[in-house]
Amino acid sequence: AQSVSQHNHHVILSEAASLELGCNYSYGGTVNLFWYVQYPGQHLQLLLKYFSGDPLVKGIKGFEAEFIKSKFSFNLRKPSVQWSDTAEYFCAVISNAGKSTFGDGTTLTVKP
């Protein structure tokens, strides 16, 4: 069965701190990996995605994620967070069969 695990439920950081949110998935076939973000009062929106090729992918607002196939991981990183990064972050896997699975999300609070 396809599953996604996000290890951190709530992360609190001060501005300029570095961020890493963990995401591990389980699936036997080829997957497409995503990070979605939901800012307060807004819709879920795509942050970045990995389909193939370079395992280090860059997204919007300075975020990046690294796909490590051997660890079934797709961790999200940002070198220096800002107050405006306060949001909920979801890791997701979409299989080639079209089934999508989301993690339970990580709430990031950035203190000014």
Partner 1 sequence: DAGVTQSPTHLIKTRGQQVTLRCSPISGHKSVSWYQQVLGQGPQFIFQYYEKEERGRGNFPDRFSARQFPNYSSELNVNALLLGDSALYLCASSWGERLYFGPGTRLTVT
Residues that bind partner 1 (CB under 8 A): 4, 6, 32, 34, 36, 43-46, 49, 51, 90, 92, 94, 97-105
Tell me whether residue 6 or residue 81 sits nearer to partner 1 (CB atom): 6
Number of other CB atoms surrounding residue 107 within 10 Å: 14
Q: Pseudo-torsion of CA 88, 35, 110, 20, nearest 10°?
A: 130
Helix (H, G, I), strand (E, B) or coil at 18: coil
Least CB distance to partner 1 at residue 44 (A): 4
Least CB distance to partner 1 at residue 100 (A): 5
Going by C-beta distance under 8 Å and a sequence separation of 6 or more, which residues neighbour residue 111?
Answer: 12, 13, 14, 15, 83
Tell me whether residue 51 or residue 83 sits nearer to partner 1 (CB atom): 51
Tell me whether residue 45 or residue 82 sits nearer to partner 1 (CB atom): 45
